[in-house]
Amino acid sequence: MNTDVYVTGTSGVLGFETLLSLSRQGISACGVSRSGLPDKKHPIRNEQVNDVLNPEWFDPNNAGSTIIHFAGLSNPRVAFDSYVDLTIHEVVPHVEMVENLILRGWHGHLIYISSGGAVYGDIDDLPISEDQAPRPKGFYALQKLTVENALVFLANQYGFRLTILRVSNPYGSLVPKSGQGVIPILLDAALNEKPFTVFGSGEELRDYVHISDLLTAIDKTCHLQAPARINTLNIGSGIGTSLNKLISLVTVLTGKELDLSRIPSRYDVNSNILDISRAASVLEWTPEVSIQDGLKTLVSDYLNAGPAMQPIAPAPAKFGT
């Protein structure tokens, strides 16, 4: 079957939301996931496989297709025994996936979803542009950056188009799946009277981008006709919000006080706000949903939808913390 776009990692919230958005636009898109889709009521194409990074799911008839690559680590506090352990288990498989795609005849556009909220690390000069040298602090950030560099090398070697999207902190999905990111966990704590842990002081700024703005940026990237074959773009709101401010907003919007505890963190970075001017220029894109409006809508949707759609606390990290 003809496929213009593949989306890997569609058992995750962002991969699923992207596949659903593309399908609703009438784009011939197919998801690839190891687990089932988090919401099965939508008639969208998805191939469930044992190993997403083994591209047997790729049909050589779709040689020029776009691949939006979400599959990979999702827990920012994941730990490994060493850099070698990380490389073997979480970098090499991504490299092998692309090399095997090339062997199967693929020569399209790879869109790699990286993390602008992690790879830059502690940068004092805010907002952070793509030209800033990254300083990853944890294994999650190191994995994202190492895969980025490997993909740039492969794109230069084999000539395919590559766009790296360094996404800040997306929120706003109503997909009923384990929470990824602080906002779903915070809402779960507020709505279900659970304790919530603040890592660090809570005063560090984060850049939160609404899911609708992220999906618009991804859609524009799929249609990107930039003169450069390789692009790295920050995708965020360009505005910083502290965790303490989020807690205050959620408290007001839900009418519930949170049971808070605070512990130091060696993995969380200091304030992180992305410079999105390059994305605005290259993609002709700007975010439209403020954190206040996005949270207000999200809380209202959760309360109106009932318990079946309320956020679920995340599962424990696979490798510990």
Instruction: State how far the Cα of 234 lies from the Cα of 107, in Å rounded to an integer.
Output: 24
Q: What is the per-residue burial (b if ≥16 Cβ within 10 Å, else e) of 70-101?
A: bbbbbbbbbbbeeeeebbeebbebbbebbeeb
Alpha-helical regions (H) of the chain: 13-24, 83-90, 92-103, 139-158, 182-191, 211-222, 243-254, 277-283, 291-305
Catalytic residue among 140, 171, 208, 302: 140
Q: How many whole angstroms separate alpha carbon 65 and alpha carbon 224?
A: 13
**Whole-angstrom distance, CA of residue 307 vs CA of residue 297:** 16
Residue 14 tokens read as 């962002």
Q: Rounded CA gap, 302 and 12, in Å?
A: 19
CB neighbour list of residue 96: distance below 8 Å, 6 or more residues apart: 53
Q: Would you tell me the crossing angle of helices 182-191 and 243-254 to the nearest 10 degrees? A: 40
φ/ψ of 13, rounded to 5, equals -60, -50
Indicate the residue type of 35. Answer: S
Instruction: Tell me if residue 6 is catalytic.
Output: no
| Euclidean distance between CA atoms 13 and 70, whole angstroms | 10
63: DSSP letter: T
Show the tokens assigned to 219. 């859609």
Write the single-letter amino acid at 87. Answer: T
Rounded CA separation 48/41 (Å): 16
Q: What amino acid positions are annotated as catalytic residues?
A: 140
